[in-house]
Every structure is written in structure tokens, then in C-alpha cells.
Homo-oligomer: A and B are copies of this chain.
Amino acid sequence: MVDNNDHIHLGRLQDFYATHKSLPPYAKIADICDMRSKAGVSKLVFRLKRDGFLQVAPGGRLAPTSRFFGRPLVGSAPAGFPSPAAELLDDALSIDDYLVEHPSDTVLVEVQGDSMIGAGIQPGDYVIVRKCQRAEPGQIVVAIMDGEFTIKYLDRDEKGYLLRPANAHYSLLRPEQELSIFGIVTGQFRKYS
């Protein structure tokens, strides 16, 4: 463990980033961390980079790493007591980052109907959809039928593609002529009031 004040400085930076979604220039960091010289900041930044909290993004700007975000992820620890120490699992900074890999061509669609209830997709849920025309059998897709969105498994048999609901009360859909795919379902989320 560290015996210096870097974790305090880091905390200040985390607060700033949480508020402004951006890291300030060195002069402002000095301000935030009660330092009086940019040279001190330069050394601080060196340490935080070395320790894996900061990195340099393309273009040269300072950027946070995944380690910069203290994110409470509690594992379903099978044994023992759920300790806060076991929280830090890596790789996702926020739910947004985890669910949306390509923001520019990703949209949300609200689920209507219970045709996918067997796949854990309920009415009122939102699905995260990456817009694209091509999809693989087995994927859950948003297709356009009769001008409406419909969410189904994409399947194919010897006669061609078909849309399969995850609900025994619905039947297979075989597109009349051409199947119009709006996008691929890459995620799903739901909120309990």
C-alpha cells in the first residue's frame, strides 16, 4: 500500500472526472490538488500512470484507465462473507460501457409483447440494438415486418431464414419474400420501479 497522499489526489481527480467527464490540464490539476507548480503535477501524473490509474489517449490527452473507476461489483461469492474487498472485478467502467460497444450505431428499443419471454426478455424491457443488416442464425434480431419492429431469434432451415419466438404460444414466422433486419440485439436491461 502507498504511504503518500496520492490516493487523496486521485480522489480529487475522480471527483472532478465524475462531475465533468473530463480530466483538466496540469494547471487545473495543481489547483484541485492544492499544489503550486505544474512540475509537481507532472510527477504526480507520472506516478498515477505508473500505478495504472491514468494513461495517454491518442492525441496526447490524459485519460483515465479502467482502474481509475472504483466500481462496486460484488461477486456472488460462494463462500465466506461478501467482503467489499472482493468487489473489484475488471473490465467494465460503467453499465453504459459494458452494454454499448459501438455508441454511434446503437439504439434502444422498448420491448412490446411477450413473444421472447422464454429468453428472459419481457414487455417493458429495453433491448440494446446494434443496427446492421446482416445477422447470424441463433442471434436475437430486431426485424421489420409490416412496418413494425419485432424481436425474435433468427433461424434458418433448408427453406431459408425464419423468425422464431421464445414463447410456445407463438408460432414460427417465415418471411414472405425478403427478410428486413433492423439490427442485432446485443443486450437487454430492465428497471424495477
Contacts and interface: CB of A to CB of B under 8 A. Distances in A.
Interface of A: 10-12, 14-16, 18, 20-25, 27-28, 57-64, 69, 71-82, 87, 93-112, 117, 120-122, 125, 128-129, 139-140, 144, 147-149, 182, 185-192
Contacts of A95: 95-96, 99-100, 108, 128, 189
Given A20-B63, A81-B147, A188-B192, 10 more contacts: A18-B102, A28-B60, A76-B111, A76-B148, A76-B149, A80-B147, A95-B96, A96-B96, A140-B192, A187-B189
A75 B187 contact: no
A190 B191 contact: no
Taking the full assembly, how many copies of this chain does it contain?
2
A155 B182 CA distance: 41
B59 A28 contact: yes
Contacts of A97: 18
B98 A191 contact: yes
A69 B99 CA distance: 13
Main secondary structure of the interface of A (DSSP, over half): mixed
B100 A18 contact: yes
B191 A185 contact: no
A186 B71 CA distance: 14
A30 to B, nearest CB: 10
6 contacts: A11-B103, A15-B103, A20-B58, A69-B96, A95-B95, A120-B125
